[in-house]
Amino acid sequence: MIRDDIPTPALLLDLDRFDRNLRAAAAHVSAAGKQFRPHAKTHKCPEIARRQVAAGATGVVCAKLAEAEVMAASGIPGLLISTEVVGDEKVGRLMRLLDHDPGVLVVVDHPDNVRDLAHAARAAGHVLGVLVDVDVGGRRTGTGPGEPALALARAVAAAPSLRFRGLQGYAGQCAHIVGWAARREAAVKAMTPLIETRRLLEARGIPVEIVSGGSTGTYDIDSDLAGLTELQCGSYCVMDLDYLRIGGRTGDRLTDFEMALTVLATVVSVPAPDLAIVDAGLKAFATDRPFGPEPVERPSVVYEFAGDEHGRLLSRDPRGSVRLGERVEFFPPHCDPTMNLYDRVYAMRGARVEAVWDIAARGKSQ
């Protein structure tokens, strides 16, 4: 199968670029003396997770229990569920997941949840590994650093059916700050209370084996943080326009990782010389960023959303206009919710389809 045979819109992964991204990140994290547990919410694809582990990762982070269920069913080791598992339905499913994979780690940020997990694990005969989720300024999940985290760690450590393993802190608010120096300043400031919480716990006699955090935007900042034991970067493996635009240590583009992910579309209508319509719209790309997809290697063509199932290509140069039936590739604005729209990704070597991988955890946000 070649590129021209792929039904569009379709998600394409450039394997040469992807392979280099896996190697570059693994080498960087390893040289920093850290563990690497990439976030699988980016790709939701067991085959990509398998390759991340083969490249040296400890395992993968899963945003939700359902994502972890899929990864566990595919034999991916070292799973950490980065969102609190709350409520009878989910806690029940977590216990069944532990039957299959007793090594799954969860996070907690509330004593009621610690109590519920301890009760369920005891009833099921499990010892559940737990990290305390610390809010590092993202105003999302997590308990306060310092004393509140210490109290929660003690509650975990006191429960025989739970095993306190360490801390998690995700500074998502820093990941997309444009400009490396500004990003570094914000990230170090955000992560310092997490590192200090580690010291506090250790000073109180609670061993902290894991301190997990970080993002693609701050990967070479997080790796300098003494006290952080592992990085959770996700997008690095495929990249997107959003991360490209935050800039690198030098330059206004983050080029440490390559743009490996594209959406392939077909021109289905050419209503005017400067206008073409492709078969990829709101259901083909994430729409959560203030900018749209960007045509690959077509500087004179601009994409504009044109409804659920269509996009407009506006050509600023008649020589760059596209023909009916022509195929055009686009870099997506934001990789995670874009991948979540597709059931499969076409793994490409040049114009040849080397494999088709199931995005088996697509839609698994439960």
Closest CB to a second copy among residues 112, 297: 112
By the rule CB under 8 A, 6 interacts with a second copy: yes
Q: Can you tell me the distance from the alpha carbon of 252 to that of 8, in angstroms, rounded to the nearest whole number?
A: 32
Q: Can you tell me the distance from the alpha carbon of 319 to that of 304, in angstroms, rounded to the nearest whole number?
A: 19
Q: Kindly give, in sequence order, each residue whose CB lies less than 8 Å from that of residue 194, ignoring residues fewer than 6 positions away.
A: 134, 136, 145, 167, 169, 211, 213, 227, 228
Least distance in Å: CB of 277 to a second copy? 5
Let me know: does 25 contact 36? Beta carbons within 8 Å: yes
Let me know: does 242 contact 289? Beta carbons within 8 Å: yes
Helix (H) or strand (E) holding 257: none
By the rule CB under 8 A, 251 interacts with a second copy: no
By the rule CB under 8 A, 110 interacts with a second copy: yes
Let me know: does 31 contact 264? Beta carbons within 8 Å: no
**Dihedral, CA of residue 101, residue 213, residue 334 and residue 187, to nearest 10:** 180
By the rule CB under 8 A, 329 interacts with a second copy: no
Least distance in Å: CB of 5 to a second copy? 6
Residue of 15, 24, 32, 282 that binds a second copy (CB under 8 A): 282
Cα 202 to Cα 167, 206, 227, 338: the distances in Å are 12, 5, 11, 41
By the rule CB under 8 A, 50 interacts with a second copy: no
Helix axes 88-100, 111-124, angle to 10 degrees: 50
Size of the site for a second copy (CB under 8 A): 66
Q: By CB under 8 A, which span of 50-58, 203-211, 221-229, 279-287 interacts with a second copy?
A: 279-287
Q: Can you tell me the distance from the alpha carbon of 331 to that of 245, in angstroms, rounded to the nearest whole number?
A: 12
Residue of 121, 341, 345, 348 that binds a second copy (CB under 8 A): 341
Closest CB to a second copy among residues 135, 230: 135
Closest CB to a second copy among residues 29, 280: 280
Least distance in Å: CB of 4 to a second copy? 8
Q: What is the binding site for a second copy (CB under 8 A)?
A: 4-10, 41, 63-64, 66, 83-84, 86-87, 89-90, 93, 109-110, 112-113, 135, 138-143, 172, 266-271, 275, 277, 279-280, 282-284, 286-288, 305-310, 312, 324-325, 334, 336-337, 340-343, 362-363, 365-366
